[in-house]
Amino acid sequence: MKKIILLITLFTVVFSFSAEKKFPRFSTKDLSGNDISLDSILAKGKPVVLTFWATWCKPCKKELRKLIEYWENFDTTQGEHPYIVVAICEDGPRSKRQATALAKKEKWDKFIIPYDLGQKIKRKAGVADIPELFILKPDGTIFYRHIGFNPGDEKETFSKLEELFKELNEEEPTSE
């Protein structure tokens, strides 16, 4: 009996990791009150770096500072950025104004900043703690997920993003 339970558990774990999981769809407003949805973001056909943050979260701010640094130093001589950054704000209604001011001051307003009123997106995505970062393929499939932030974690994030760029470039049909 123990062997059967072990086999079922092993099969469940292997199957759950092998299946590609899509990030849950959401619709909300950004910090300025404009409508925003994951579908409208994915419609641009680019990879998405999506992270959850709040003004009171020091690791979140460190992570976002690294994301903006990478964004601003990214070589865009061939055109615009080949990816989108979505920074989902988890602040409550009382600190929404503070979040907006902080995003502007830190230049995070270059990113898409949905406001997760009532933490609905966070719950749907199964986010355990913030910051929690996802890299999504252009179809919304989760390519990479990372919980927390310590200095140096950004190296793995950017490495994974580059890996996704390479994978997507290999998938593109070549014209002959």
Select the more confidently predicted residue: 43 or 31.
43
| pLDDT given for residue 101 in this prediction | 96
Residue 69 DSSP class: H
CB-based burial of residue 117 (10 Å sphere; 0-12 exposed, 13-18 middle, 19+ buried)?
A: middle
Fold designation for 21-171: Glutaredoxin (3.40.30)
> Distance of alpha carbon 26 from its chain centroid, rounded?
13
| pLDDT tens string 61-96 | 999 999 999 999 988 777 788 999 999 999 999 999
**How many whole angstroms separate alpha carbon 114 and alpha carbon 26?**
10
Q: What are the sequence ranges of the domains in the chain?
A: 21-171
* pLDDT of residue 32 exceeding 60: yes
| pLDDT given for residue 74 in this prediction | 85
- CB contact at 8 A, 51 and 134: yes
* pLDDT of residue 138 exceeding 80: yes
| pLDDT given for residue 7 in this prediction | 39
